[in-house]
C-alpha cells in the first residue's frame, strides 16, 4: 500500500469516528442544523478523497449517505438508522491496513509532542531558576557565563525540536499534482499544474488539515474556475493551476491560483440573499468574495461528484482558523482566482504579549497586535452591547476578552487586526512579551470560542491564549 492510500484510510476512519460521535449526540438530544451540516461534511470529505485514490466503492457509498444528508439539510426528516448503516458499510470497506507509513508518521508526531511538552517544562524550570532571588543576588562572572550557556543550549534544543516537527511541503504538492491530473481527466479540461516552493517546511501536525483544505480549493479551481471553452474567451486551451509556498516572517503562506473565469459576483450576491445572509445594500468586491465562505453557498449550475453541493469554502475557512491561520481571497473576473492561506510555522510555540484586565491574565499573539494606545472614554452606540473607543481620532469597536462587564474606561487599549476589521481591546497593564509553549484547552473553557489555547507561566499560573479573530467576531455580533 502506498503512502497516499494509507493516509486516505486513516482519514476515512477518523471521519467515520467523528460521524459516530455526532450520531451519538443526536440520539440523546435530537438533531440541529449544525449537526446535519457536520455529518454532511464528513461524508462529503470521504467521497472527495476516495476519488483521488481510486476507491470508487467507498466514494459511491459515501455519496449515497451524502445525498440523504443533503435532503435533510433541505428540510426532509433525517433517518439516523440509515446514516448508521452507512457508517457500518463504509467501515467494512476500510481495510485494517492503515498501520503503514501514515500511522508511523502519527506515532512519530506523538513522540515529538512528548518532547515538546518536556521542552515546555524545561522552559518553566529555567525561568524559575533565573528569576529566583537567591540566584539573582549572586554576582559571579562564572554564574553569568553558565546562564548564557544554558540559554544557548535551550534555544538550540528548541530549534532542533521544531525541525523535528516540520517537513517540506513537496510531498503534499506532489499529491495535489496527482489530484489535478485526476480532475483534468474527469472533467475533460486540459490542466497544467505548477508548483513552487516545495522546500518550504510546515508543521507536520497541520498536514492533514491543510491538505484537505487545498483539495477543496483545487476542486473549485478546476470545476468552477477553469472554463470549458477557453478559446471562446481568447485564452490558451490548457488551463493553469499553481500552488506555491513561501515563508514570510513567522508565517508560512500557501497559495493556490488559477487563470480561470474568476468569481461571478452577481450570482454570489443573489445566492447569499436567497440564503438570507445579506440585505439589499451594495457590497464591495472584497466583501462579496468573502461571501463564498458562507455554509451552503454555491453558484454551481449542477451537482457533480466533484463539487456543487455548497460545501467546501466554509470548511476551508473553519479549518484554517483552527490552525491559527488567515485566509485571503483575490479574484478578478475573466482572469482567475487566488486563495492564500497564512499559517504559523509551528503550532507548538507562539510569540505573545501577556496583559492583565480585571485581575485576569491573557496572552495575545503579537502577530495580531497593531499598536498599544492610551485608553480613552468608552463610547456607547445606539446598538445595545456595541461600544467603542476613540484611538488617535478614529473610532474603533471595543471588544472584550471575556463576558465580565467592565464599565470603567481602560487604562490602555490594544489595537488588534481581526478577521474583517480592526478592533480595540481594553487592558489594565502590559506585563511582558515572550514565547510560550501552547497547550490544549481544559473542558471548562473549551466552550468559549475566544479562548484558543492555554499556557503555563514560570510561576505555575495557567493563562488563557486569546483567539483574536473570535474576539473580533464576537464584537461584530453585538452590532447585528
| CATH number for the domain that contains residue 360 | 2.30.30.40
**Residue at which a domain ends, from 74, 93, 112:** 93
Cell of 357: 484586565
- pLDDT bin (cut points 50, 70, 90) of residue 447 is low
Residue 365 has pLDDT above 70, yes or no: yes
Same domain, 149 and 207: no
Residue 237 has pLDDT above 60, yes or no: yes
Structural contact between residues 458 and 128, judged by C-beta atoms closer than 8 angstroms: yes
Structural contact between residues 321 and 301, judged by C-beta atoms closer than 8 angstroms: no
**Residue at which a domain ends, from 167, 185, 216:** 167
Residue 11 has pLDDT above 90, yes or no: no
Same domain, 112 and 213: no
404 vs 345, higher pLDDT: 345
Residue 150 has pLDDT above 70, yes or no: yes
Q: Between helices 170-187 and 3-29, what is the axis angle to 10°?
A: 80
Burial category of 478 from C-beta neighbours within 10 Å (exposed 0-12, middle 13-18, buried 19 and up): middle
Q: What is the CA radius of gyration of the chain?
A: 25
Q: Which of 173-182, 280-289, 372-381 has the highest mean pLDDT?
A: 173-182
- pLDDT bin (cut points 50, 70, 90) of residue 310 is very low
Which secondary-structure segment (H or E) carries 258?
strand 251-258
Supply the DSSP string of 278-342, one letter for each residue. S-SS---HHHHHHGGGSTT----SS--SSS-SS-SHHHHHHHHHHTT-EEEEEEETTTEEEEEEE
Q: What is the pLDDT of residue 379?
A: 64
- pLDDT bin (cut points 50, 70, 90) of residue 480 is very low
Domain that holds residue 258: 169-344
| CATH number for the domain that contains residue 88 | 1.20.120.160
Q: What is the pLDDT of residue 381?
A: 56
Q: Which of 74-83, 236-245, 311-320 has the highest mean pLDDT?
A: 236-245
DSSP state letter for 347: S
pLDDT tens digit string along 195-218?
A: 999 889 888 888 878 988 999 899
Residue 338 has pLDDT above 60, yes or no: yes
Cell of 273: 440573499
Residue 304 has pLDDT above 80, yes or no: no
Q: What is the pLDDT of residue 246?
A: 92
Contacts of 234 (CB under 8 A, 6+ apart): none
Same domain, 420 and 437: yes
Same domain, 52 and 114: no
pLDDT tens digit string along 74-133?
A: 888 888 889 988 998 898 888 654 445 555 566 566 777 778 778 777 777 777 777 778
For all residues of the chain together, what is the average pLDDT? 80
Same domain, 334 and 300: yes
Same domain, 237 and 296: yes
Q: What is the pLDDT of residue 309?
A: 47
Structural contact between residues 190 and 235, judged by C-beta atoms closer than 8 angstroms: no
Same domain, 259 and 394: no
Q: What is the pLDDT of residue 405?
A: 47
What are the Cα distances from residue 77, in Å, to 33, 67, 240, 410? 12, 13, 43, 51
Q: What is the pLDDT of residue 232?
A: 92
| CATH number for the domain that contains residue 234 | 3.30.565.10
Q: What is the pLDDT of residue 285?
A: 86
What are the Cα distances from residue 157, in Å, to 164, 239, 251, 438, 473? 11, 46, 21, 17, 38
Residue 136 has pLDDT above 50, yes or no: yes
The domain tally of the chain equals 4
Per DSSP, the three-state class of 197 is coil
Residue 179 has pLDDT above 60, yes or no: yes
Same domain, 327 and 200: yes
Range with lowest mean pLDDT among 178-192, 309-323, 325-339? 309-323
Q: What is the pLDDT of residue 358?
A: 77
| CATH number for the domain that contains residue 112 | 1.10.287
475 vs 362, higher pLDDT: 362
Same domain, 154 and 33: no
Buried/exposed code over 222-259 (b: 16+ C-beta within 10 A; e: otherwise)? bbbbbbeebeeeebeeebbbbbbbeeeeebbbbbbbbb
**Residue at which a domain ends, from 137, 167, 197:** 167
Same domain, 235 and 128: no
Contacts of 119 (CB under 8 A, 6+ apart): 157, 158, 161, 437
pLDDT tens digit string along 415-430?
A: 888 766 788 888 888 8
> Beta 422-427 vs 429-437: how paired, if at all?
unpaired
Contacts of 168 (CB under 8 A, 6+ apart): 198, 199, 200, 201, 202
Q: What is the pLDDT of residue 98?
A: 47
Q: What is the mean pLDDT of residues 442-461?
A: 70
Q: What is the pLDDT of residue 298?
A: 67
Structural contact between residues 312 and 301, judged by C-beta atoms closer than 8 angstroms: no
Same domain, 331 and 440: no
Q: What is the pLDDT of residue 33?
A: 84
Q: What is the pLDDT of residue 300?
A: 59
Same domain, 337 and 360: no
Q: What is the mean pLDDT of residues 25-35?
A: 79
Amino acid at each position: 500500500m502506498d503512502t497516499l492510500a494509507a493516509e486516505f484510510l486513516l482519514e476515512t476512519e477518523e471521519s467515520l469516528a467523528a460521524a459516530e460521535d455526532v450520531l451519538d449526540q443526536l440520539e440523546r438530544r435530537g438533531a440541529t442544523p449544525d449537526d446535519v451540516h457536520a455529518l454532511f461534511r464528513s461524508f462529503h470529505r470521504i467521497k472527495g478523497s476516495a476519488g483521488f485514490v481510486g476507491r470508487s466503492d467507498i466514494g459511491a457509498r459515501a455519496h449515497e449517505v451524502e445525498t440523504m444528508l443533503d435532503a435533510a439539510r433541505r428540510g426532509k426528516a433525517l433517518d439516523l438508522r440509515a446514516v448508521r448503516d452507512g457508517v457500518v458499510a463504509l467501515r467494512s470497506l476500510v481495510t485494517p491496513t492503515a498501520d503503514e507509513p501514515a500511522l508511523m508518521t502519527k506515532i512519530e508526531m506523538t513522540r515529538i509532542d512528548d518532547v515538546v511538552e518536556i521542552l515546555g517544562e524545561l522552559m518553566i524550570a529555567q525561568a524559575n531558576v533565573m528569576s529566583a532571588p537567591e540566584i539573582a543576588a549572586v554576582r559571579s562572572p562564572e554564574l553569568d557565563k553558565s546562564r548564557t550557556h544554558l540559554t544557548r543550549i535551550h534555544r538550540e534544543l528548541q530549534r532542533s525540536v521544531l525541525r523535528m516537527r516540520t517537513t517540506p511541503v513537496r510531498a503534499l504538492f506532489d499529491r495535489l499534482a496527482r489530484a489535478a491530473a485526476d480532475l483534468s481527466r474527469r472533467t475533460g479540461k486540459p490542466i497544467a499544474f505548477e508548483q513552487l516552493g516545495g522546500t518550504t517546511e510546515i508543521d507536520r501536525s497541520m498536514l492533514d488539515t491543510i491538505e484537505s483544505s487545498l483539495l477543496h480549493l483545487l476542486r473549485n479551481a478546476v470545476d468552477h474556475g477553469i472554463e470549458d471553452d477557453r478559446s471562446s474567451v481568447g485564452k490558451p486551451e490548457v488551463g493553469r493551476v499553481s500552488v506555491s509556498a513561501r515563508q514570510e516572517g513567522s508565517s508560512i503562506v500557501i497559495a493556490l491560483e488559477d487563470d480561470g473565469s474568476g468569481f461571478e459576483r452577481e450570482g454570489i450576491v443573489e445566492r447569499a440573499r436567497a440564503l438570507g445572509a445579506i440585505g439589499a445594500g451594495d457590497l464591495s468586491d472584497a466583501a462579496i468574495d468573502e461571501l463564498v465562505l458562507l455554509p451552503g453557498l454555491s453558484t454551481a449550475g449542477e451537482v457533480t461528484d466533484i463539487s456543487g453541493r455548497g460545501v467546501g469554502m466554509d470548511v476551508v475557512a473553519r479549518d484554517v482558523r483552527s490552525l491559527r491561520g488567515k485566509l485571503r481571497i483575490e479574484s478578478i473576473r475573466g482572469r482567475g482566482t487566488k486563495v492564500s492561506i497564512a499559517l504559523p510555522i509551528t503550532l507548538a510555540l507562539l510569540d505573545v504579549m501577556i496583559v492583565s484586565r480585571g485581575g485576569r491574565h491573557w496572552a495575545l499573539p503579537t502577530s495580531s497586535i497593531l499598536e498599544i494606545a492610551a485608553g480613552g472614554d468608552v463610547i456607547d452606540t445606539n446598538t445595545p452591547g456595541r461600544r467603542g473607543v476613540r484611538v488617535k481620532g478614529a473610532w474603533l469597536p471595543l471588544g472584550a476578552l471575556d463576558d465580565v462587564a467592565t464599565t470603567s474606561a481602560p487604562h490602555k487599549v490594544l489595537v488588534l487586526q481581526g478577521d474583517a476589521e480592526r478592533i480595540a481591546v481594553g487592558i489594565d497593564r502590559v506585563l511582558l512579551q515572550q514565547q510560550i509553549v501552547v497547550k490544549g484547552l481544559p473542558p471548562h473553557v473549551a466552550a468559549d470560542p475566544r479562548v484558543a489555547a492555554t499556557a503555563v507561566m514560570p510561576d505555575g499560573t495557567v493563562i488563557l491564549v486569546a483567539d483574536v479573530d473570535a474576539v473580533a467576531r464576537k464584537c461584530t455580533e453585538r452590532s447585528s
